């Protein structure tokens, strides 16, 4: 963080409110750090990055206040505009709006309002950049408490105040989802629950649920292998987490690996392997590039690429499902004496690629992890896996979890709505188009590509795929989920909620390549 944003003075005496969450630091300090964090978000830094820069003793409290503030930010700005004729300087403005955000919902107040006002004034006085405006802060906050309902009524029909998202975001949802847009915005205000993906190559979901119960954790089943915890916990409390028995992954994200692998039924798999064998014998460009370790009698190689793979949850899920020890429903593509399956993962940034390696190492899983642009395989560098081997020239299956606005996961990351700009969507559309074009060229004849984004915007889903199909006559769309709308769950709101959602917004499209040009 930019330490010059707030210049601390000597701390004032601590004050604690019995109604507030248990905090290890004085509230005035947390308010100052929250205002500073909001400032960083408005400059374009993600809340995740901002929180990583905090002292660990401050992080839980600041995260709680930051997430609450960002969810109410549209309303807080409207209230401030109605109370202050001239917009204050950023330092005092962000502190003021944070306090208004924490005070605006009478049914969900984290602190007693008068305690919050007193601590806000103390926070302002404790910093040289805001001390001179502490009286103004005090007057504005106290006026809001006196005239709360009148002020809320006055701003209630302003779109950003009512729906707590940027106006461009609201309008785009109204166009894309005319029947569901209000529900999508409502769900975005609901903190998400914590969802687990059980590694059924180790044990069944029911068996793991019993393990959770043995350590006092209750969970409900969802989907094929997911469990939803009644209350979020740190991963260190999950039995077998370090041994890869379970991962944190939202329920809709867990659809990716099964969707791709189940596309290869016995008939489609046999046809693809036959085409691959013909191409290899003919030495055609579609055949996989020979590996250094392969002999002339090597089994046919079925290669799967997870493109844009970080942090590695989908790569790990692919490998778990492919394991012959998996206890779930059968897959035609599981390990066989007739072919060998190999999984590759590529990520653009080295640090993010390392996250994929760490995710696989935790589950004792093997894949070849590469660093580089997914659209430029000739420039990839290997990070893990068998050394000295080049990536295949083509893959039989590709999972493209494309970069997107992340508009489907705002429950977990409420900063996203304020980080994105309207023109980001057109830029991301071009990035997704470029990746689709180049990866399609790397897909073997009769192969399948699964395109997905964690977005509810149709430019990043339905319209992107319709455009691709229009310009690629060798592509056909298989039955696919399409746009999945985020759903509200009956969980109690919690401050510390930066966990995976049970039902985020997603888009999925399965595309098959023609057997021949």
Please, which residues bridge with residue 512 across strands? Answer: 448, 476
The SS3 call for residue 134 is: helix
Within a 10 A sphere around the Cβ of 469, how many other Cβ atoms? 14
Rounded CA gap, 255 and 99, in Å? 40
Q: What is the CA radius of gyration of the chain?
A: 26
Question: Which of 97, 104, 404, 454 is an active site residue?
Answer: 454
Rounded CA gap, 48 and 34, in Å? 13
Q: In this structure, what token pair is assigned to residue 489? A: 């769950």
| Nearest in space to 195 (alpha carbons), one of 106, 317, 81 | 317
Whether 369 and 357 have beta carbons less than 8 Å apart is answered as yes
Within a 10 A sphere around the Cβ of 427, how many other Cβ atoms? 12
- Long-range contacts of range 155-160, CB-CB < 8 Å, 24 or more positions apart? 155/75, 155/78, 155/79, 155/81, 155/82, 158/78, 160/74, 160/75, 160/77, 160/78
The SS3 call for residue 28 is: helix
Rounded CA gap, 181 and 172, in Å? 9
| Residue corresponding to tokens 């023609």 | 514
| Nearest in space to 394 (alpha carbons), one of 509, 224, 513, 247 | 513
Whether 507 and 482 have beta carbons less than 8 Å apart is answered as yes
Rounded CA gap, 412 and 427, in Å? 24
Residue 105 φ/ψ, nearest 5 degrees: -105, 100
Q: What is the DSSP letter of 236?
A: G
CA 464-467-470 angle, to 5 degrees, is 150
Within a 10 A sphere around the Cβ of 265, how many other Cβ atoms? 11
Q: Is 454 a catalytic residue?
A: yes
For 181-226, the DSSP string reads: HHHHHHHTTSPPPPEEEE-TTTS-HHHHHHHHHHTT--EEEETTTE
Whether 478 and 512 have beta carbons less than 8 Å apart is answered as yes
Rounded CA gap, 115 and 109, in Å? 11
Count how many residues are written for the chain: 517
The sheet carrying 195-198 orders its strands as 219-222, 226-229, 195-198, 246-248
User: Could you list the active site residues?
Assistant: 454
């Amino acid at each position: 963080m930019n330490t010059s944003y707030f210049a601390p003075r000597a701390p004032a005496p601590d004050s604690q409110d019995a109604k507030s969450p248990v905090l290890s630091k004085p509230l005035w300090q947390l308010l100052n750090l929250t205002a500073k964090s909001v400032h960083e978000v408005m400059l374009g830094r993600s809340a995740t990055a901002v929180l990583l820069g905090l002292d660990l003793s401050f992080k839980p409290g600041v995260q709680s206040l930051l997430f609450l503030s960002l969810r109410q930010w549209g309303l807080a700005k409207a209230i401030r505009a109605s109370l202050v004729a001239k917009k204050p300087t950023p330092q005092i403005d962000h502190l003021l709006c944070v306090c208004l955000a924490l005070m605006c919902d009478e049914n969900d107040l984290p602190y007693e309002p008068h305690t919050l006002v007193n601590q806000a004034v103390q926070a302002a006085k404790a910093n040289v950049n805001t001390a001179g405006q502490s009286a103004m802060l005090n007057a504005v906050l106290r006026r809001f408490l006196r005239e709360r309902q009148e002020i809320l009524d006055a701003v209630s029909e302003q779109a950003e105040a009512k729906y707590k998202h940027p106006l461009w975001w609201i309008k785009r949802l109204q166009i894309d989802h005319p029947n569901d847009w209000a529900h999508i915005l409502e769900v975005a205000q609901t903190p998400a629950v914590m969802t687990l993906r059980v590694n059924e190559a180790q044990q069944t979901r029911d068996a793991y649920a019993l393990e959770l119960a043995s350590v006092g954790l209750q969970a409900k089943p969802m989907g094929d292998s997911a469990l939803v915890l009644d209350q979020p916990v740190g991963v260190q409390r999950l039995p077998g987490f370090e041994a890869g028995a379970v991962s944190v992954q939202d329920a809709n994200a867990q659809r990716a690996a099964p969707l791709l692998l189940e596309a290869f039924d016995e008939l489609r798999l046999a046809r693809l392997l036959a085409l691959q064998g013909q191409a290899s014998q003919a030495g055609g460009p579609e055949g996989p590039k020979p590996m250094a370790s392969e002999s002339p009698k090597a089994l046919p190689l079925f290669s799967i690429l997870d493109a844009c793979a970080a942090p590695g949850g989908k790569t790990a899920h692919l490998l778990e499902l492919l394991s012959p020890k998996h206890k779930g429903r059968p897959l035609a593509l599981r390990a066989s004496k007739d072919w060998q399956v190999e999984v590759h993962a590529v990520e653009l940034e080295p640090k993010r690629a390392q996250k994929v390696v760490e995710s696989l190492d935790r589950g004792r899983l093997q894949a070849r992890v590469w660093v580089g642009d997914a659209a430029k395989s000739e420039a990839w560098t290997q990070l893990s896996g068998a050394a000295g081997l080049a990536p295949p020239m083509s893959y039989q299956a590709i999972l493209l979890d494309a970069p997107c606005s992340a508009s489907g996961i705002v429950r977990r990351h409420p900063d996203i709505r304020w980080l994105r700009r309207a023109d980001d969507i057109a830029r991301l559309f071009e990035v997704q188009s470029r990746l689709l074009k180049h990866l399609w060229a790397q897909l073997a004849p009769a192969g399948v590509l699964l395109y997905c984004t964690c977005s509810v915007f149709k430019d990043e889903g339905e319209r992107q795929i319709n455009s691709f199909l229009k310009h690629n006559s060798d592509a056909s769309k298989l039955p696919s989920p399409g746009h999945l709308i985020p759903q509200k769950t009956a969980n109690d709101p919690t401050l510390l909620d930066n966990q995976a959602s049970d039902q985020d917004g997603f888009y999925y499209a399965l595309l098959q390549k023609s057997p021949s040009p």
